[in-house]
Chains A and B, each alone.
Chain A
Amino acid sequence: AQSVTQLDSQVPVFEEAPVELRCNYSSSVSVYLFWYVQYPNQGLQLLLKYLSGSTLVKGINGFEAEFNKSQTSFHLRKPSVHISDTAEYFCAVSDRSPNNNDMRFGAGTRLTVKP
């Protein structure tokens, strides 16, 4: 079974500063990796996903993430954040089995961008 650990429950940053949200996963098989964003009182929206190929994945809203197989990590980064990036971010993992739809989510990281 897979599991995900998001290393920071809260990350406060100032506007226009860079940010990194950390995610480590555990799995005995090859995986797909995802980052989702949740704004207050809303559902989750897919930011980006790693399926195969280039380990640097670009997503919406200027976010990117890097898959590091040796460190079993998939950290999310943005070079310059805006107030509107304030939200909760979830890392998720799923194994690559063709018939598997199971996805495991981390506990979330609350990003607060201050003016």
Chain B
Amino acid sequence: DGGITQSPKYLFRKEGQNVTLSCEQNLNHDAMYWYRQDPGQGLRLIYYSQIVNDFQKGDIAEGYSVSREKKESFPLTVTSAQKNPTAFYLCASSPTGGASHGYTFGSGTRLTVV
């Protein structure tokens, strides 16, 4: 079955460490997205990519970095510059050509700073 796989499901980070969250899709979608979810704040866009080797900052990109070397993969690195990284992170994808298809979401990674 086609879908989006996020790993790991739970991740613990020590202060000052960088961590990388994985997102892989086999839907042949061109566009991919990373969102951060905090209680009561909905989804906030971190980064998005509409094509391989290209990506743009979203609303809260500071302290995060991404790469898009393959169509199927869009990993997110949470750097030590992100002061409050504890949150639920969601990856999504969609075909290009407009948003009428909606997004397909992964099952998320819960990151906790210890």
Q: Is there an interface contact between A41 and B108, defined as CB atoms closer than 8 Å?
A: yes
Q: For residue B100, which residues in chain A have a CB less than 8 angstroms away from its CB?
A: 32, 49, 51, 94, 96
Q: A43-B90, A107-B40 are in contact. Are A97 and B98 (CB under 8 A)?
A: yes
Interface residue B114 (Cβ < 8 Å from any Cβ of A): no
Q: Mark B102-114, 1 if CB is under 8 A from A, else 0.
A: 1111111010000
The answer to the question of B11 belonging to the interface, with a C-beta cut-off of 8 Å to chain A, is: no
Residue A9 interfacial (CB < 8 Å): yes
Interface residues on A, range: 20 to 34
Per DSSP, are chain A's interface residues mostly helix, strand or loop, or mixed? loop
B residues contacting the other copy or chain, number (CB 8 A) = 28
Q: Which parts of A9-67 form the interface with B (CB within 8 Å)?
A: 9, 32, 34, 36, 41-46, 49, 51
* Interface contacts beyond A43-B4, A101-B31, A101-B94: sample of 13 additional A-B pairs, CB < 8 Å, sorted by A: A9-B40, A32-B100, A41-B108, A42-B107, A43-B106, A43-B107, A90-B42, A96-B100, A100-B98, A101-B50, A106-B42, A107-B40, A108-B42
30 of the cross-chain contacts (CB-CB < 8 Å) are A9-B40, A32-B99, A34-B102, A36-B105, A41-B88, A41-B107, A42-B107, A42-B108, A43-B6, A43-B105, A43-B106, A44-B90, A49-B100, A51-B100, A94-B99, A94-B100, A96-B98, A96-B100, A97-B98, A99-B98, A100-B99, A101-B98, A102-B99, A103-B99, A103-B102, A105-B42, A105-B43, A107-B42, A108-B40, A108-B42
B residues near A (Cβ < 8 Å) are 4, 6, 9, 31, 35, 40-43, 48, 50, 88, 90, 92, 94, 96-100, 102-108, 110
